[in-house]
Amino acid sequence: MTYDVVIGLEVHAQLTTRTKMFCGCPTTFGAAPNTQTCPVCQGMPGTLPVINRRAIEYGVRTALAFHCRINEACRFARKHYYYPDMPKNFQITQYEEPLAEDGWLEVDLPGGATRRIGIQRLHLEEDVGKLVHEGTLETAQASLVDYNRAGVPLMETVSRPDIRSPEEAAAYLRAFRAVLVSLGVCDGNMEEGSLRCDANVSLKPAGARELGTKVEIKNMNSFRNVQRALEFEVRRQAEALDRGERVVQETRLWDADRGYTRSMRSKEFAHDYRYFPEPDLVPLALDRRWVEDIRGALPELPRARRQRFVSAYELPEYDAGILTQSRALAEYYEAAVREFAQPKIVSNWVMSELLRELPGDDERAIAEAPITPARLAGLLRLVDDGTISGKIAKAVFEEMFRTGEEAAVIVRREGLTQVADVGVLEGMVDAAIAGNPRAVEDFRRGKTAAAKALVGQVMKASGGKANPAMVTRLVEQKLTRS
């Protein structure tokens, strides 16, 4: 039987604010345990939360980028459950009155199609601390608690169940991450837990209207794992349905090492979160002017930028996609084009040479690349004016990357300037013809490729410095003349 797959994703993103959601402790990742806390984020008796304005701003910025409706009145609520990584045994989050609702994200699918995935809601909350088990969770006799992460701002974004395949889910997540990173609100690092994803998956007979039973999947900590986990889960549910079984509504954990999802033990009794408005915080009535200021300052988003690269620089879709994978790379490219106005050539060099050395999605690495856009342009100008050959330029590029020097300095020091003196080149071509009677013979018998071999000989003899166009012309002249 064939089924329609219905997937919705909940993504938790840590915001890159300097301080926590409700206190002034820094949010730096990887500090020694329990060194980034204070009475507020450790939930000591008597302490009170105060909202971080920048966290709200980042939430609004993201909501606007997702075309959401910003709720003019929103507030925080307490969500109650006991867990030792949560200092107050309630989490300050948003419930009935979230920051924003009803938006969408346009996702490009492999193969070129585009899907618009609905965003149901976006809200802010505080993160919990970290538990370290002495052994595994199942066998540990005790667990250790580190509250450094407790209180770090989290933004939860819930998609509508518009996603139709595991592949689409991965594409959604990639597009989502790209937007957050380009907005500067999240570093997007899934390994460090800056971006965490849960999924709701259900299957229904192809074409059926009624939704199937949904299963929640947790613990997918990379793009690859999201796709693998969902592929497994879709298969598992399809097989169960094929056997005539019912899918149980439950939460399942993805086990990346073993490659399957497993049921979390069913709850002794259902959660009862007992939400009520956080009395220690007052409601937010977001100033419309502030929201408009944030809208006005939104940076260009990856998708719009990609379209602009195609139209403004006449680049192929493929190039535009690669060059806009991060804000830093797009900015690098545009800075280089400003200095050397041949967009396709710059694109080729960035894609083949720069990205060989650096990951294009690493904002920082690109921004701090040892070859600046201006220096890359300098190198390309030397090729363009014939000072060096393209082949030499690649070697110069590597040297520039290693030393951080300008192209011209390296070319001068290493004596790499192209030989374009006809007299010198003629001597070299004559020597090559004299040394390869067989090639000359072949050419005369109609094997024109033999000329290329001779050109190669000359280039090699010159250490790559001979002007290839002139050598080709000279070889052809001499072979046809003699």
* Whole-Å CA distances, 137 to 98, 140, 142, 199, 320: 33, 5, 9, 23, 46
Residue 145 or 453 having the CB closest to another protein:
145
Residue 36 contacts another protein per CB under 8 A = yes
Residue 465 makes CB contacts below 8 A (sequence gap 6+) with 389, 392, 416, 417, 418, 419
* Whole-Å CA distances, 41 to 91, 127, 279, 481: 11, 10, 17, 87
**What span, in angstroms and rounded, lies between the C-alpha atoms of 331 and 314?**
17
Compute the Cα dihedral for 200, 206, 212, 215 and give only its sign. negative
Residue 16 or 202 having the CB closest to another protein:
16
**Encoding tokens for residue 479?**
């072979």
According to DSSP, the residues that pair with 218 across neighbouring strands are 253
Contact 76, 283 (CB under 8 A): no
Q: Least distance to another protein from the beta carbon of 278, Å?
A: 8
Residue 37 or 237 having the CB closest to another protein:
37
Residue 49 or 302 having the CB closest to another protein:
49
Residue 36 or 261 having the CB closest to another protein:
36
Residue 399 contacts another protein per CB under 8 A = no
Residue 146 contacts another protein per CB under 8 A = yes
Q: Least distance to another protein from the beta carbon of 139, Å?
A: 9
According to DSSP, the residues that pair with 395 across neighbouring strands are none
- Piece in contact with another protein (CB under 8 A), picked from 144-152, 176-184, 232-240, 470-478: 144-152
Q: Least distance to another protein from the beta carbon of 100, Å?
A: 16
- Piece in contact with another protein (CB under 8 A), picked from 4-12, 21-29, 189-197, 255-263: 21-29
Residue 47 or 120 having the CB closest to another protein:
47
Residue 35 or 403 having the CB closest to another protein:
35
DSSP-based three-state secondary structure for 196: strand
- Piece in contact with another protein (CB under 8 A), picked from 30-38, 107-115, 206-214, 370-378: 30-38
> What count of residues does the chain have?
482
For residue 249, what is the DSSP state?
P
- Piece in contact with another protein (CB under 8 A), picked from 35-43, 252-260, 348-356, 458-466: 35-43
Backbone angles phi, psi at 109, to 5 degrees: -95, 155
Positions 109 through 138 that interact with another protein (CB under 8 A): 131-133, 137
Residue 1 or 73 having the CB closest to another protein:
73
**What span, in angstroms and rounded, lies between the C-alpha atoms of 53 and 278?**
17
For residue 67, what is the DSSP state?
T
Residue 123 or 303 having the CB closest to another protein:
123
Residue 143 contacts another protein per CB under 8 A = yes
Q: Least distance to another protein from the beta carbon of 286, Å?
A: 8
The amino acid occupying position 207 is G
Residue 222 makes CB contacts below 8 A (sequence gap 6+) with 190, 191, 256
Q: Least distance to another protein from the beta carbon of 403, Å?
A: 38
Q: Least distance to another protein from the beta carbon of 261, Å?
A: 17
Q: Least distance to another protein from the beta carbon of 31, Å?
A: 9
Site map 257..296 versus another protein, x via CB under 8 A: -------xx-xxx--x-xxxx-xxxxxxxxx---------
**Encoding tokens for residue 9?**
């994703």
Positions 41 through 100 that interact with another protein (CB under 8 A): 42-56, 78, 80, 82, 84, 87-90
Residue 186 makes CB contacts below 8 A (sequence gap 6+) with 13, 14, 15, 16, 155, 177, 180, 194, 195
Residue 297 contacts another protein per CB under 8 A = no
Q: Nearest Cα to 292, choosing from 112, 42, 57? A: 57
Q: Least distance to another protein from the beta carbon of 180, Å?
A: 18
Q: Least distance to another protein from the beta carbon of 351, Å?
A: 37
Residue 254 or 332 having the CB closest to another protein:
254
**What span, in angstroms and rounded, lies between the C-alpha atoms of 438 and 117?**
66
Q: Which residues in this chain contact another protein in the complex, by CB under 8 A? A: 17-19, 23-26, 32-39, 42-56, 78, 80, 82, 84, 87-90, 131-133, 137, 140-147, 264-265, 267-269, 272, 274-277, 279-287
